[in-house]
Structure 1
Amino acid sequence: MSAPTWHDSTWDHEAEQLVELPTGMTICHRVDGPADGDPVVLVAGMSEDMTAWTPAFVGRLLERGHRVVRLDNRDIGRSSRVPSPAPPLWRLAAARPLPGAYSLHDMADDTVALLDHLGLGQVHLVGRSMGGMIAQIVAAREPDRVASLTSIYSTTGARRVGATALSTKRHMMRPPARTEEEWVRQHLAVTRHLSGTAHPVDVDEEVAHARLAWARLERPSPGGVLRQVQAIAASGNRSRELARIVAPTLVVHGDRDLIVHPSGGRATAEAIPGARHVEVPGMGHHLPASLALGVADDVLHHIESARSTRPRGDQP
């Protein structure tokens, strides 16, 4: 049986919920799977909404009986736009955030507040790219809330590792899309650039995903994406913080990543005590259907291993 794709799937808009959190943000999220399932929380990356997690990846988790929580981070999707100026590009290039800029730690507070709202105790956290950074911070700050951590193509914030390729920076400098067709074209161009060498882009799949992400936008928010980039710079080197993580940790990275150099994954695994590092040959900064099932199976194996070593009283 083939893995489900965006092209043959229907997004249930009624499954989305909005909640105003004590952090001041209204966060859009959805919960799928049985109420008594072991909860897995998926945190997407910079400029990505919750649809970044493909039907193949989420479906694998649901098949195993998990309760799957997805969210739009602040400044993307249907979540709050932060009412502060977007940083100019020169500040981003120089890693000089505007005064008062929010940080990844503020975004981690959003995630924890959402867990509180949903009444979730311990959860399995899975984050990709910037979402991996957010998940790392939650695991470091809230050790009792995180049963396991999976960090996918992410980094520590140290300037000497995880650098973005110049070719990728050129893509990021292009003017934002103003129409759906421009949005789709830009999504295809960036995805082709980031997809790695062994996993070519499925055009039909990516067009279907891009149109869904556009349809969920009440309005495009290029300023929101710039503020998310700024949040990464505002958070600095988090290596010492990562050393406090006690949750069993899996680090997954591709060896052809052009937005977070593979050195970022290696540094993450070195910073977190006992972390297991998997570097996937030919994988870039993208999880297409051809990779989703394999990575999902790695995550599930990691979760099962964490469950088998968790004290009985700590079951979520």
Structure 2
Amino acid sequence: MPRANSNGLDLEYETFGSAKDPALVLVMGLGAQMINWDNDFCGLLAGEGFRVIRFDNRDVGLSTYLDDLLVPNLTALLGGDLSQAPYGLPDMADDVAGLLDTLGISQAHVVGASMGGMIAQLFAINHPARLLSLCSIMSTTGDPTVGSATPEALGVLLRPAATSREQAIEQGAIGSVVIGSPGFPLSEEERRAKAAASYDRAFHPAGGARQTAAIISSHDRTEGLRTVSVPTLVIHGEADPLVDQSGGKATAAAVPDSELVLIPGMGHDLPRPLWPTFVESIVRNARRTA
């Protein structure tokens, strides 16, 4: 896979489709690698006439690890010690801009899931001239009164890191049951296969801890979202236990003229049976661009 220098980091990335088509950047969530945007899903979007770009965020996958920075004490951070966050979500939005610079792309459609939705929102706020359309999936505004997690889902997020391959696979399989879509469940074999693929490609829990700190230390983006003027789509699962659907509703309410798509039975994942809905909605929103 190629790597792009961005913001002083090397970001692993991959493209689908023709370089002549409009760019569509996919931004993944907390601790998740670009392979969580499935090859076939990327192919569906490319088939609609987009140059699809997926990449590993900083500190995850095959992109640069920032292990010279501290591993944050999340308890202290939750208690208000913001010095525990070695970087923030705005830095990660700047990474997206740097990736586009390296690829020679002036403007792009940006789609983000979970933390990736937060990054996409900040890209829209901080780099408005670079954005053609925005899609925020299973994300929230940073307002602490919306988008809360259930205790069980929060437990998955904050549990100690695995210390072996088998433990990582077991944790991944269990976690996908807790936060996944009850209306579109994966089989045990599918859940374990996904967890194994992620572990075998890269396993870097310290990066996930730093990304968690970036989320916890982030500010409310509501007022900034009111300035977004590009076509905006918000997709959220009605059964999301990690980011309650109130987060998606608040995002859509903040962005003028945005479209909100709430999906029954969808949790905090991207189940294959819903790909046609996701793709149709993303493409429709992107084609609203003037």
Worse overlay, 106-115 or 207-216: 207-216
Match of 2:275 in 1: 292
Q: RMSD value over aligned CA atoms? A: 1.5
How do residues 1-316 of structure 1 correspond to structure 2 at under 5 angstroms?
16-21=1-6, 23-82=7-66, 83-94=68-79, 96-98=81-83, 101-217=86-202, 220-306=203-289, 310=290
Q: C-alpha separation between the residues in 2 aligned to 1:188 and 1:299?
A: 28
Q: C-alpha separation between the residues in 1 aligned to 2:265 and 2:176?
A: 14
**Offset from partner CA, 1:66-97 (integer Å, 9 cap, x none):** 21101100111011112211112312443533
Which ranges in structure 2 are unaligned for 5 or more consecutive residues?
none
Q: C-alpha separation between the residues in 2 aligned to 1:35 and 1:269?
A: 31
Deviation at 1:99, TM superposition (A): 5.1
Contact 2:58-2:65 at 8 Å conserved across structures:
yes
Count of residue correspondences: 289
Q: C-alpha separation between the residues in 2 aligned to 1:118 and 1:215?
A: 28
Q: C-alpha separation between the residues in 2 aligned to 1:92 and 1:261?
A: 22
2:205 maps to a residue whose letter is: P
Q: C-alpha separation between the residues in 2 aligned to 1:121 and 1:202?
A: 42
Cα 1:56/1:95, change in 2 over 3 Å: farther
Q: Percent identity between the aligned chains?
A: 37
When the two structures are superposed, what TM-score results if normalisation uses the length of structure 2? 0.95
Which ranges in structure 1 are unaligned for 5 or more consecutive residues?
1-15, 311-316
Deviation at 1:204, TM superposition (A): 3.2
Contact 1:51-1:209 at 8 Å conserved across structures:
no
1:118 maps to a residue whose letter is: L
When the two structures are superposed, what TM-score results if normalisation uses the length of structure 1? 0.87
2:59 maps to a residue whose letter is: D
Contact 1:57-1:293 at 8 Å conserved across structures:
no
Deviation at 1:205, TM superposition (A): 3.1
Cα 1:257/1:92, change in 2 over 3 Å: farther
Q: C-alpha separation between the residues in 2 aligned to 1:143 and 1:93?
A: 31
Contact 1:188-1:206 at 8 Å conserved across structures:
yes
1:43 maps to a residue whose letter is: V
Q: C-alpha separation between the residues in 2 aligned to 1:166 and 1:96?
A: 23
Deviation at 1:243, TM superposition (A): 1.2
Q: C-alpha separation between the residues in 2 aligned to 1:103 and 1:136?
A: 13
Describe the SS at the equivalent of 1:169.
helix
Q: C-alpha separation between the residues in 1 aligned to 2:190 and 2:168?
A: 15
Contact 2:74-2:213 at 8 Å conserved across structures:
no
Deviation at 1:180, TM superposition (A): 2.2
Describe the SS at the equivalent of 1:235.
coil
Q: C-alpha separation between the residues in 2 aligned to 1:154 and 1:46?
A: 11
Q: C-alpha separation between the residues in 2 aligned to 1:95 and 1:75?
A: 23
Deviation at 1:212, TM superposition (A): 2.2
